[in-house]
Structure 1
Amino acid sequence: MKTINRRSFCAGAAILGGSFALAGCSGTASKQADEEKPKGEIIETDIAVIGSGLAGEACALAAAQNGAKVVLVEKSPTLGISFQTSKGNVSIYQGVENEEFWQFVSETTDTMDEFLARFKKATETGKVDAPYPDYDRVKALMQASCETVNWVEKTGIDFIQSFTKEKVGTDTVWPDTSADASKAAGQLITEKMTAALEDAGVEILLEHEATELVTEDGKVTGVVLQSNGKTKTVAAKATVLACGGFGGSVDYLNEFVPSVEKIGFQYLGNAMNTGDGITMGKAVGAALYDNCWVIPFNIMPSRKLAEVDPSFATLVDMSMSTKPLEGGGVASKMLVDAQGKRFVNEAGPGILLASSMADHDVAPYYALFDSTNAEACEILEKGISTGDVIKADTIDDLASAMGAVALAETFASYQAFAEGSVEDEYGKSVEKAVAYGEGPYYLVSYVPSYVATMGGLKTDSDCRVVDDAGNAIEGLWAIGEITHRFMYNRSFVRHCSNSVGLSMGRLTGEAIAKDLA
C-alpha cells in the first residue's frame, strides 16, 4: 500500500448500561478463507491494544489498573508519536452533573443542552447528508470528560485552564509545562503515560506492526505482528484497535476521500497512520463508514512550494510548526478558483476554507499577493520555477498568464469592497480586507491541510466493532481516530478529539477488564 511521506467512543457500561460480554455478543465475524493456527512466537494476554495514541494508552492503562494483563503494540519506535508535538489541549464539559470533577470555575455553569448546541453549530459547518454526529454518544463521552482528566492527572500531570467555552465553544484544559518549558505538552503527557503504563505492568511492544487478526469460530482471538522480519502472535481474550486513521495512505484516501489527492491536500498528521486497523477489520467482516472525510486544519501553499522552500510554511494564518509571517496568510487577501473567481470568505475558519475548496471543485486555487510585503515577495520569487507561483506586472497580464477570464473583474470588485464602497457578497468584514497596492502581482497555489481523518470501522455504543448488519464482532473493539466518525458531521470541534480519545480509552479498558475479572 502506498503511503504519504511525512511531512477517539465508548460510553462504558456505567454510563449507558451497555454490556461488554465477551462470550455473549450477538453476531460473529465472518471467517477468513483459511483460518490458521497462531504464527511464530506466542504471547498470551487478556487484552491486546493496537496503537499508542491517547486512546490506546488510556485503554491499556485503565485495563491494567483494573486487573487485566495487557499488551500494548506500537509500530513506531516510541509511544504516542502522533501526540508528541501537540499543545495537549483537552475539551471538557463542566455541568452541575459532574461538578466534583471540575477543572476550573467557568464564568457561567454549562448545561448539556447548551454544550450540544455549540457543538452542533461547530461540527455542522459545511454540513453534508450524513447521520452524524451521534449526539447520544457525544453527550456520554463529554459527560465523562472531567472525570477522565482527573484520572490522567494521577499520572503526575497538572492540567490548567486553557480556553473557555465563551472563546472556543468548549471549556478546555492543557498540561502545565512550566516546570520544564522545553517540553511540548504532548511530550509531557506521553512521558507520564508511558511511566504509568510501565508501573501498571503493561507489556509494551515497540516497532511491532499488526498485520492481521486471528479468528477462531468467528471470534477474534488475537493479532499477528511483524517485527524485524520475525512473526509473533498475541493470543488475547479481547483485541482493541486504536491504530489511527488513514491519512497516510494514498490508496485509502483515493477510495474514501478522492478530493484530497485531486486538490492536493497536505497531510500534517502521522504518516504512519495508514489504515492498518481498517485493513485488518475488513478481513474479519467489519463494517466501514461510507461517508468518510478528513479533519481540516488550515489552507497553505501547495506541496511543490513547501518542498522548494520551507519558508512557504510561514505564508499561513495559522501554523502547526512555524511562526506565520505577519500579513502573509490569506485572511486579508483574495482567494480565487481556476477561473479567477472568489468563492468563500477568506477570513473564515480554516475548516470552512478547506471544505469550500473541496465542495466548490474548481481547482487549482490561488491567493493573490501584491508587492507591498518585501519578505513575502522574497519567498514567492523562489516558487516561480515550480509553476505554482504565477507572476505578472498587472492584473490583466496575470489573468492572461493564468487563463482566468474572471480575474480582472473579481479584482475590481474586491478592491471596491476593501475600500469600503460595497459590501462583500461572501460576508467578509471590511476590517478583514486590505486593498491591494501596486504590482508586480503573484497568484500563489494554495491547498487545504488536514491533521486526521473521519472514517474507518463502525462500532456500537460500547465500542465493539460491528458487521454490516450491525452485529458485534466477538472479541473486537475499536477506539480513537479509527472509529470516531460518529463524533462529527463535516467539521471537527477544537480539542474534542483528544478528549473523546482519552475517555474512549479509559472507559473501554476499564469495562473490558471488569468483564474479564
Structure 2
Amino acid sequence: MLKTKKILSLLLALILITTALVGCGNDAKETLYQDGIYQGSAQGHNAEVEVEVTVKDGKIAEIEVLQHHETKVLTDPVFEKAIPAIISENSVNIDTFTGATITSLALKNAIKDALTKAGGNEDVFKKGKLLKFDSASDSSEETYDVVVIGAGGAGLIAAIEAKAHGANVVILEKMPFVGGNTLVSGGEFNAPNTWVQEKLGIEDSVEQYYTDTLKAGDFEGDEELIRTLAENITEGGEWLRDSVNVEFIEDYLMHFGGHSVPRAIYPIGGSGVELIQKLGAHAEAKDIPIKLSMKAEKILTDDNDRVVGVEATDVTGRTVTFHAEKAVIIATGGFGANYELTKKYNSEIDERYKGTIQKGTMGDGILMAEEIGADLMGMEHIQTYPTCNPLTGNLSYVADTRFDGAVLVNKEGQRFVEEMERRDVISKGILAQTDSIAYLVWDKTIKENSHMDKYQVEFDNMEKQNLIIKADTLEEAAAFFDIDEKQLLETIKTYNGYVQEGQDKDFNRRGKLVALTEGPYYIQKVAPAIHHTMGGIKINSEARVIDKDGNPIEGLFAAGEVTGGIHGTNRLGGNAISDLIVFGRIAGQTAAK
C-alpha cells in the first residue's frame, strides 16, 4: 500500500510538471508546484542557508528563512528585496546582488531545493521573469550641504558628525549594502588610557601609542597625523560607546603584533558588524539618506577650483548630480581589490594574492581626487594579512589564537618568525616557507583563553575544507598536514621550555607566553592575503585634501583607508578602525562648518 502511494505521488508530480511546462507559456504565475510546505537548504558564505517554502494553489505563497549564519548587514537587503519579489512573481529566476553574490545565490538555491520537492525542476525555474532588485534614482539633481562618498565606517561616522554639527548630509554608496571593509574587519581599535586598560590595570600613554605607530611605519608616517590620531582616539572610542551605543567587551583587550602593550578594544561579536550595525542605525535615526547602488564617478569643481559636488550613476546608468553647498567627503576605502593599481605601485602585489577585502575596494576615490589635482602618498605600501584562508583569502578570526599564544611553524615543523611581529614581516616570512604556507598550532588552554568559540561556523567550514584539524595528540595533528612530526615535537618542547623560563630565546616573542601542553591540539593552515593599502590621498590634521602644491583643495575632505600618511610603510593591527574613527569625526565636523 505504501509503495502504491509513493507511485501515485510521483505520477501526480509528473503530471503537474508536464502541465506547467506545456500550459504556462511565458507566464510564471501559472500553477507550477504541488501544494504543501517544503524545506530546502544551500551553502552560503559561512554555512547552510535553510528556508521553508509554502506552496498554495500551485504558487509560491510564503518563504521563511529558518536559519543562516551570513552577515546580517549583507543579508538584510538581499532577503528583504528578493523574498517579496519571488513570491509576487512566482519566480526564482533572480539576479544576484552585487557584493552579496554568495548570499543571494544561497537564498535562491535553498528555495529551489525546497521547490524541487514540490515538483519543480530547472526548466520550470527558468520560466520566471528575471528579477532585478536595484532601483533607479528618483531625480537627476539633488542638493545637500555635505556629500559623503562611501558608507563604510569612515563615511558613516563623517556623515553622523556632519549632521550633528548642523549640516544637511547624504551618503553615496556604490554597493547595495553599507559597511565597506569595516564590515569584514575584526572591528577592534587601539587607544591609550582607555576604560578597559584601567579596569585591567594596564599602563599606557598617548606618547607610547604615538611611538609604537610611528615606529611600525618605519618612521615614514606623517607625524602630525599620527599625533592627531593618538590624542583623539580615546575620546573617539568613548563617543562610539556612549553616543552610538556600540558595545565592547569590557574585560578583554587584544594585543596585536607591534604594540608594546595590549590596547585593542574588542567589540561584541568580535567583528566590524557590531560597528556597522550601530552606525547604520544611528544614521537612520538621524534621517541621513544613504543612496545605495549609487556610484560616484566624478568630483565637480567650479571656476575657482572649489569642490561643489559629485556626479554619480545609478544602477540604470542614469547620471545623478549631487550638489554640495559646503563640502564633499571621500571615504571610499583603499585599492586592494584593484590589481591594476596594486601592480602599478608595487609589482610584487599581483593576482597571486587573494584578498580579505570587499570586492568594491577599487580605489575609486583616490582616482577621482587625483583627477582634480589631489596629491597621493605612500601608494607602494600595501599590506598583506599573514593568517588568512589559503583557499578564499578571507581573514581568519579563528587564527586570532596567535594573539593568545598559538605558535607558527612551517612544513618542516620549525618556527621561523616571531608570532607577534608586524604583519608585513610575518607575511614575508610565510611566503619564504615551503608552499608559501604556514601552520598555527595551539592546545586546549590557548583555545579556552581565546574567543574562538564565537567563530565556530568558520571553524566548521575550515574543517570541511581540510584547513584545520583537531586531534588528541600533536603527532596526529601533524600527520594530517604532513608536517615533520619529530621536528614539530622538538619545536614545541623547546618552546615550552622557554615559557617556563619566561623568555623566548629564539624570537623574543612579545606578550604573554603560553605553553602547549594539554590536548586536544589544533593545527590551522594559513597564508597571507591583501588586507590594507597604507597609501592614498594626502590630507592634513583637519582631514582636508592637499593638492600637489601643498595647499588644501577647497571643499574637499577625506577619511579612512582612502587616505595616506598615517601608517607609513606598515599599519599596526587595530589601527585602521582607530584611523577611521578619528579622521571620520574630524572630516564630518570640519566639513559642516
Which TM class, normalised by the smaller chain length?
Answer: 0.5 to 0.7
Partner of 2:278: 192
Partner of 2:583: 504
Query: How many angstroms does 1:332 deviate by?
Result: 4.8
Partner of 1:345: 417
Question: What do residues 110-167 of structure 1 show as CA deviations (whole Å, max 9, x unaligned)?
Answer: 332233333345x24xx4xxx5222332222222122222322223334443544878
Query: How many angstroms does 1:204 deviate by?
Result: 1.5
SS at 1:259 equivalent: coil
Q: Counterparts of 1:55 and 1:120 in 2: how far apart (Å)?
A: 22
| Bigger radius of gyration among the two | 2
1:277 aligns with 2:349: no
Partner of 1:458: 538
Partner of 2:86: none
Question: What do residues 203-248 of structure 1 show as CA deviations (whole Å, max 9, x unaligned)?
Answer: 2211101011112122221111111221101111311100000011
Q: Counterparts of 2:157 and 2:434 in 1: how far apart (Å)?
A: 41
> Cα gap change, 1:140/1:51 in structure 2, threshold over 3 Å: closer, same or farther?
same
Query: How many angstroms does 1:324 deviate by?
Result: 9.1
Partner of 2:250: 161
2:224·2:541 contact (CA, 8 Å) conserved in 1?
no
Matches within 5 A, 1:151-230: 151-152=239-240, 153-161=242-250, 163-164=252-253, 169-175=261-267, 177=268, 186-217=272-303, 218-229=305-316, 230=318
Counterpart residue identity of residue 409, structure 2: K
1:298·1:350 contact (CA, 8 Å) conserved in 2?
no
Partner of 1:30: none
Partner of 2:173: 74
Counterpart residue identity of residue 278, structure 2: K
Matches within 5 A, 1:354-369: 354-356=427-429, 365-366=436-437
SS at 1:157 equivalent: coil
Counterpart residue identity of residue 551, structure 2: N
SS at 2:213 equivalent: helix
Partner of 2:383: 295
Q: Counterparts of 1:367 and 1:150 in 2: how far apart (Å)?
A: 38
Query: How many angstroms does 1:74 deviate by?
Result: 0.9
Match of 1:57 among 148, 153, 156: 156
Matches within 5 A, 1:102-181: 104-121=198-215, 123-124=216-217, 127=218, 132-152=220-240, 153-161=242-250, 163-164=252-253, 169-175=261-267, 177=268
Q: Counterparts of 1:209 and 1:506 in 2: how far apart (Å)?
A: 23
Matches within 5 A, 1:309-328: 319-320=396-397
> Cα gap change, 1:112/1:228 in structure 2, threshold over 3 Å: closer, same or farther?
closer
State how many pairs are aligned. 406
> Cα gap change, 1:445/1:261 in structure 2, threshold over 3 Å: closer, same or farther?
farther
Partner of 1:257: 346
Query: How many angstroms does 1:447 deviate by?
Result: 4.2
2:196·2:253 contact (CA, 8 Å) conserved in 1?
no
Question: What do residues 299-341 of structure 1 show as CA deviations (whole Å, max 9, x unaligned)?
Answer: 45645xx59xxxxx8xxxx823x57999xx99453368xxxxx
1:476 aligns with 2:476: no
1:249·1:275 contact (CA, 8 Å) conserved in 2?
yes
> Cα gap change, 1:156/1:353 in structure 2, threshold over 3 Å: closer, same or farther?
closer
Partner of 2:337: 248
> Cα gap change, 1:458/1:355 in structure 2, threshold over 3 Å: closer, same or farther?
farther
Partner of 1:233: 321
Query: How many angstroms does 1:171 deviate by?
Result: 2.5
Q: Counterparts of 2:255 and 2:319 in 1: how far apart (Å)?
A: 52
Query: How many angstroms does 1:431 deviate by?
Result: 9.6
Query: How many angstroms does 1:271 deviate by?
Result: 1.2
Identity %: 23
Query: How many angstroms does 1:285 deviate by?
Result: 1.2
Counterpart residue identity of residue 552, structure 2: A
1:93·1:170 contact (CA, 8 Å) conserved in 2?
no
Q: Counterparts of 2:197 and 2:288 in 1: how far apart (Å)?
A: 29
SS at 2:545 equivalent: strand
> Cα gap change, 1:173/1:425 in structure 2, threshold over 3 Å: closer, same or farther?
closer
Query: How many angstroms does 1:355 deviate by?
Result: 3.6
1:489 aligns with 2:568: yes
> Cα gap change, 1:366/1:109 in structure 2, threshold over 3 Å: closer, same or farther?
closer
Q: Counterparts of 1:147 and 1:459 in 2: how far apart (Å)?
A: 21
Larger relative CO (CA 8 A, sep 6+): 1 or 2? Answer: 1
1:265·1:447 contact (CA, 8 Å) conserved in 2?
no
Q: Counterparts of 2:211 and 2:249 in 1: how far apart (Å)?
A: 25
Q: Counterparts of 2:356 and 2:175 in 1: how far apart (Å)?
A: 17
Q: Gapped runs of 5+ residues in structure 1?
A: 8-39, 96-100, 178-182, 308-312, 337-341, 370-374, 382-392, 399-407, 435-443
Q: Gapped runs of 5+ residues in structure 2?
A: 1-97, 103-138, 441-459, 468-478, 499-503, 518-523
> Cα gap change, 1:158/1:223 in structure 2, threshold over 3 Å: closer, same or farther?
same
Q: Counterparts of 2:308 and 2:492 in 1: how far apart (Å)?
A: 64
Q: Counterparts of 2:340 and 2:329 in 1: how far apart (Å)?
A: 24
Q: Counterparts of 2:344 and 2:361 in 1: how far apart (Å)?
A: 16
